[in-house]
């Protein structure tokens, strides 16, 4: 893989048959579209319109991220969704890690068709997290947990430092997103690594508790760490995402198809 990660946004048009389908896809905290570009490419090859915005404060420097509020991340991702919604019949939200939280936020506030998540974050287990709002004034950054990838020689292109101020914003966004989970009604598909050194099962438990009005399907990844979209199980994610979209569209079509009168064949 190139030693120069591509941080640029990803945009692909709809090229398929049948209903126009779009996927708004989000990268993770301190990362960039590079970490999910192969996922987006695989979806685009299915004919879907795909958008990956470069979230504010990302793809530049950790110092810029330290000056960015979580609402700016949400606004950028929500704009990508709205662009797709203006031209597509169905729009799915999807994301890796923090991007999964953004996908869930939009699913709670917009009429999405479904949501696809890879190792979504909703809870920060670090005991320092509640103090980040104070620590940011005395501790500017900490070493990042980046490149949590089992496959050797892969670089996700994330920052080498994590700004404490941004971690504080992340914690605030996670808490607000958990509050919104009961509003989600569209089906959710989660790809979860059995070994993840960044996001613990606490986030998955929070997701299970919060999805009181939506179905949840969980697929375990046995051969990948946190950044599974660049790891050994990437193809499993790509194939499973396309299958989930097809299943949701089929179920929607069955619900809206007129029934034949009783006693007559359709």
Whether 117 is in a domain gets the answer yes
> Mean pLDDT across the chain, nearest whole number?
91
Residue 97 annotated in active site: yes
Residue 104 lies in a domain: yes
Identify the pLDDT of residue 2. 45
Helix, strand, or coil (residue 249):
helix
Concerning whether 32 is annotated as a catalytic residue, the answer is no
Q: Is residue 226 part of a domain?
A: yes
SS3 at position 90? strand
Residue 220 sits at the vertex; the CA angle it makes with 54 and 40, to the nearest 5 degrees, is 25
Q: Is residue 49 part of a domain?
A: yes
What is the pLDDT averaged over residues 204-219?
98
226 labelled catalytic:
yes
Query: Is residue 95 included in any domain, yes or no?
Result: yes
- Within a domain: 28: yes
Residue 4 covered by a domain: no
Is residue 99 scored above 90 in pLDDT?
Answer: yes
Q: How many structural domains comprise the chain?
A: 1
C-alpha–C-alpha distance, residues 177 and 98, integer Å:
11
What is the distance between the alpha carbons of residues 36 and 234, in angstroms, rounded to a whole number? 10
**How many angstroms separate the CA atoms of 179 and 174, rounded?**
9
Percent of the chain at pLDDT > 90 equals 83
Q: For Cα atoms 142, 143, 145, give the angle at the middle one, nearest 5 degrees.
A: 120
CATH code, domain carrying 177: 3.40.50.1820
**Residue among 178, 203, 180 at smallest CA distance from 190:** 203
H runs (alpha helix) in the chain: 37-45, 62-65, 70-85, 98-109, 132-135, 164-180, 201-210, 234-256
User: Which tokens hold the place of 209?
Assistant: 């508790």
Predicted confidence band of residue 258 (pLDDT cuts 50, 70, 90): low
Q: Which residue shows structure tokens 């974050």?
A: 121
> Residue 233 belongs to what domain range?
10-255
* pLDDT, average across residues 212-238: 98
Given 32, 97, 141, 224, the catalytic residue? 97
3-class secondary-structure state, position 216: strand
pLDDT above 80 (res 261):
no
Closest Cα to residue 54, out of 2, 100, 93, 99?
99
Identify the pLDDT of residue 78: 98
- Pick the closest to residue 101 from 37, 48, 180 (CA basis): 180
Residue 264 lies in a domain: no
pLDDT more than 70, % of the chain: 89
Q: Cβ distance 58 to 27 under 8 Å?
A: yes
Q: Point out the catalytic residue in the list 78, 148, 196, 231.
A: 196
Task: Give pLDDT tens digits for 101-148.
Answer: 999 999 999 999 999 999 999 999 865 555 445 455 446 688 888 899
The pLDDT of residue 166 is 94
Considering the candidates 26, 203, 226, 231, report the single residue annotated as catalytic. 226
The arithmetic mean of pLDDT across residues 49-76, rounded, is 97
């Amino acid at each position: 893989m190139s030693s120069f990660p591509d941080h640029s946004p990803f945009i692909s048009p709809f090229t398929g048959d049948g209903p126009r389908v779009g996927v708004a896809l989000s990268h993770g905290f301190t990362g960039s579209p590079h970490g999910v570009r192969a996922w987006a490419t695989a979806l685009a090859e299915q004919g879907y319109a795909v958008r990956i915005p470069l979230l504010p404060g990302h793809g530049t420097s950790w110092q810029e991220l330290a000056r960015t509020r979580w609402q700016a991340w949400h606004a950028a991702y929500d704009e990508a969704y709205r662009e797709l919604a203006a031209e597509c019949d169905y729009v799915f939200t999807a994301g890796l890690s923090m991007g999964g939280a953004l996908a869930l936020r939009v699913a709670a506030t917009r009429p999405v068709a479904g949501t696809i998540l890879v190792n979504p974050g909703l809870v920060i287990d670090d005991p320092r997290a509640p103090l980040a709002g104070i620590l940011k004034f005395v501790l500017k950054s900490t070493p990042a947990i980046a490149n949590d990838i089992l496959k050797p020689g892969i670089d996700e292109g994330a920052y080498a430092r994590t700004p404490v101020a941004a971690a504080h914003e992340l914690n605030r966004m996670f808490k607000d997103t958990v509050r919104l989970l009961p509003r989600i009604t569209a089906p959710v598909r989660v790809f979860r690594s059995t070994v993840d050194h960044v996001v613990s099962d606490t986030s998955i438990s929070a997701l299970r508790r919060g999805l009181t009005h939506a179905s949840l399907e969980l697929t375990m990844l046995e051969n990948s760490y946190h950044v599974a979209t660049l790891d050994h199980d990437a193809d499993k994610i790509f194939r499973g995402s396309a299958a989930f979209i097809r299943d949701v569209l089929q179920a929607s079509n069955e619900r809206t198809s007129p029934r034949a009168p009783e006693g007559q064949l359709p």
